[in-house]
Each structure stands twice: as structure tokens, then as C-alpha cells.
Amino acid sequence: MAIILDDISRTFSEYLLIPRLTRKGQRADAVNLKTPIAAYTKGQVSRLQINVPIVSACMQAVSGAQLSISLARQGGLSFVYCSQPIDRQVEMVRQVKAHKAGFVQSDSNTTESTTLAEVSELMQKTGHSTVPVTENGTATGKLLGIITDKDFWEFEDDLSRTVGQHMTPFDDVIHGQEGISLTTANKLLHKHKKDCLPIVDANDCLTALVFKKDYVDHRRHPQELLDESKRLCVGAAINTHDYQERVPALLEAGADALCFDSSDGFTDYQLEGIRWIRENYGSKPIIGGGNVVSPEGFDFLVEEGGVDFIKVGIGGGSICITREQKGIGRGQASALLDVAKRRDAYFEETGRYIPICSDGGMANDTQIVIALAMGADFVMMGRYFAMTEESPTPKMSINGQMYKPYWGEGTLRAQNWQRYDDGMSTRKMVFEEGVDAYVPLVGPLADVLDTTLYKLRSTMVNVGSDSLVEYRERAILTLVSAQSVVEGGTSSVFQFNSNRELKDADWGLEN
């Protein structure tokens, strides 16, 4: 006979945190939100930590290059979706890695003989106003000069003239020598009041560009998640079908972490994939496994496979209908509590810490706060990011309100059949496990995340904690009754609909 668990499948909204002593001097802005992504051994530091405990989902409507850049700049990490051809995913990863941080390779270049009309078109297409002029027109050719949009006027100058006739020639270009530090490069920019500093090697060949705007950006985003070469970090999703081709290409492109995108990771298929990566690349690549909802699933991927982190959650996603369609899944709070307990026991037993990620179903900021208190090292979200300006989908107006489309990876639209490992490789979807929907547009990611993180820090102070580890160690949670949920909302007051302008009649001014 089947085993029936004693506990009920519970969700985040059934719990509340009990405040604990807030010590004098504790401040929300001093709370440290750093958290590990990669597994580590007691006494060591994880080889990848993110600065805020939030990552974006491996989904077409969520983790494109632009969102990945924005999130990394806020200290989080994105997992670029794998339900696309390998070369397109690789290109997205490359875009994030090339984005900035100090020395960047020039991706708009020209030659002396190019016409002003052509270079103007290049500037418009790429949005770059400074273009190096090299002997062969490549990013590593001999530098002959620099042309900027200030060197010619589109409606005043004869656009059939050449770049060579308008550029600042190399002898007059303030430049740096290969090998100088970023600090020295920035000092040169400052001293000579320049926006861009080309870096050349001993043969005067271009090697990189350093931009003033990157320096300013960096100062404004102290939480930025950067790799050793000061490039933004980005993760990439993989599946259990084409990892032998996808993984090498993603690692080559510079992906900082890989994550299996699978609705149910407790499978031999995922284990084979993990083993293949470990056999071919050793312990260096950071591999996320999942999703699981039980300690048994955790043990399988950790002990048998050696993953770095585990994603927890089946059936809770905002666009997810897996529980209705297949009858599998578990309340997200119960799954997380159970797996977190096993993670802690495993750490006690082996000295090996495996971070866990609560994936899907966080309907508001409070649930993020509760998930982290329950033991998640970080959370993965889809809907939250799909609603921002930076998600890869177009915004649209419906009845005067702006929306963005948001669809599950298990929809006919996404065609991500690789996410569902049932032993079939039919390359077609027989039924859907997700829905195709719309979500309201909420604005730039940085603004939304700022508020979320402020709430999190504030709650952490209420619990008397300065770090996420301390937070979950000190957290005391209570189950709430249906009546106390009602009590937690407003009571006996009249609230105006915030989406509606107040009318005189609302104030009793109209007779």
C-alpha cells in the first residue's frame, strides 16, 4: 500500500515569523545578504557567492541577456534559458559577459576608408557613439584613430567623406598600454576628461576599451556580481538531452554556473548528465540540480551526483499546472522545510554544505522573506522578473494598463519538452504543464528589487539577525489559522481603490 505522510502539504502563506530581540545598533542597511551558490566544505568559502539571495528562472519570458545584466548588477544571478538553440543561448551568455566591468573588447570597429554614412549607421545600430578605427576593422587590429559622434554632424557634413578624414588620429588619442591596472586606466580617463580609453599592446594593436560610464556604473552599484576578470556573472540552464554539446559551449562562453532545468530532477537521466559533466570537467563547474521536494531526492543528487546546489519545488509556480495535470508535487513550505532539514543534517554528517534554492510560487515579498527564514539559501523566481522592464518580452497595453506576456516552459508556446524526463524523446509535447498568461508591468528591476530587499533586511532586523545564516538560525515560525490571516489584513476601514483617482464624491464633497 502507498505510504501516506502524516504532515499536510503547507504553503508559505500559512506561516508567520515571531520577532526576536533587535539589538541596539542593528540597522537594516547593514544587513549582509551574501549567500553561497556553490557547495563548500566546512571552514572554506563557497567558490561562488551571490550578493543578494535572488536568482531568475530558466525561462524564455524571464532570463534573457538584458535581465541577466540588470540582475547581476544588483548582486543576483540569472540562469539564461536553454529552451533555445545552443548558439542563441551562448550568444546571450556572451552578451552578459561582454557587458562591462573594466576592460571590454570593442564590438563596434571600423576602417579609415569607411564612409561617414556607414559609420553613422553602425553607431545607430549598436548604440555606440565611440568607434575605434583599426587597420583591418577588427577589435584587435592596429589602432589608427578614434571616431565619435562628435566628430561629424549628420546633417552638416558630407557623409560620403571617409572616417579617416574626420577621426582623431592615433598620435592624438589618449590611450593606455596593455597591462595597466583598471585604477590607472580610470585615472587617465579622469585626468584627460575622456569618456573612453583605448588600450593597445606593444605593436599599437587594440586590446580593449575602458569606459568612464562603467566606472560610474560600478560606483553606483556596489553590489554588482563580478567574476575574477571583473565581468558580470551569469548562469545558464541545461537539460538532460543535449548536455554533451550545450555544456562545452556554455562553459567556453564563460557561464559561471549551470543549472539543470527539469520539472522533476529525481531521475537517472539527470544523474547521468551530472556525472558526464564531472567526468569531463572535474569539480570546477558549478552545477545546480533539481527540482526535488524530498530529502530522498536531495540525497540522490548530492551523494550520487555531486551537485553544487539543489532546487526545491514542484508544482508551485505561478504559471504551473503540474499538480492538476499529473498529481505530483508538494506544498512549497513543506518541501523546503524537509529538504533544508536534510541539508543541515548532511552538513553535520559530512562537513559538506549544499545550498538549496526555493524555486517557484513566491507570490509576494513576504513569501521570499519566509522562504529564506525556512532555510533556503536563495530563491528562484519567474513571475517576479517577467513583470519588469528588462524581461525579454514586449510590453502591451490592455484596457489602459501595461502588461507583459509570461508563459511556462511547459506550454506549447515554449515547447520545452526537454524539461520533462519521462524516458520519451518524442520532441513534441502531448499535454501542457504550464499556462500562457500576462502579468502587470511593474517598472525597472532595480526599483522593484530595492523594495523587496529593504523589506527582507527589515524583517531580518526584527528577528535580530545581521546575516542570512543568523536569520534562519534565529527564525521562529508559527502556523497561522485562517482567522489570523484575516486578522493580518486591514479590518473595519474603508480603502479607496489605489488604481483609481480619488473623486470628490469619495470625500463626500459632491452633492
Applying CB under 6 A, does 134 fall inside the site for ligand IMP? no
309-312/287-292 β-pairing: parallel
320, 330, 383, 472: the catalytic one is 320
Applying CB under 6 A, does 59 fall inside the site for ligand IMP? yes
Q: How far is the C-alpha of 202 from the C-alpha of 327, rounded, in Å?
A: 66
Applying CB under 6 A, does 265 fall inside the site for ligand IMP? no
Q: What Å distances lie between residue 318 and 154, 376, 407, 424, CA to CA?
A: 49, 19, 9, 26
Minimum distance from CB of 414 to ligand IMP (Å)?
A: 7
Applying CB under 6 A, does 57 fall inside the site for ligand IMP? yes
Q: How far is the C-alpha of 456 from the C-alpha of 159, rounded, in Å?
A: 55
Cis peptide bond upstream of 399, omega within 30:
no
**Segment lying near ligand IMP (by CB under 6 A), choices 4-12, 132-140, 357-365, 393-401:** 357-365
How many Cα atoms are found within 13 Å in the side-chain-facing hemisphere of 267? Answer: 19
Q: How far is the C-alpha of 33 from the C-alpha of 54, rounded, in Å?
A: 10
- Reply yes or no on whether 320 is catalytic: yes
- Reply yes or no on whether 419 is catalytic: yes
The helix/strand/coil state of 502 is coil
235-238/77-80 β-pairing: parallel
Residues 391-410 that bind ligand IMP (CB under 6 A): 408-410
The correct pick among 146, 293, 319, 336 for binding ligand IMP (CB under 6 A) is: 319
Burial 67-77 (b: 16+ CB within 10 A, else e): bbbbbbbbbbb
Q: How far is the C-alpha of 246 from the C-alpha of 253, rounded, in Å?
A: 11
The correct pick among 359, 377, 390, 421 for binding ligand IMP (CB under 6 A) is: 359
Applying CB under 6 A, does 239 fall inside the site for ligand IMP? no
Amino acid at 331: G
Taking the chain, what is the end-to-end CA distance rounded to the nearest angstrom?
Answer: 71
**Segment lying near ligand IMP (by CB under 6 A), choices 157-165, 317-325, 338-346, 368-376:** 317-325
Residue with smaller CB distance to ligand IMP, 214 or 359: 359
Residue closest to ligand IMP when measured from CB atoms:
434
Applying CB under 6 A, does 224 fall inside the site for ligand IMP? no
Instruction: Compose the 322-351 pattern: x for residues touching ligand IMP by CB under 6 A, - for all others.
Output: x-----------------------------
Instruction: Compose the 245-264 pattern: x for residues touching ligand IMP by CB under 6 A, - for all others.
Output: ------------------x-
231, 419, 457, 472: the catalytic one is 419
Binding residues vs ligand IMP (CB under 6 A):
57, 59, 263, 317-320, 322, 359-362, 380-384, 408-411, 433-434
Catalytic residues: 320, 419
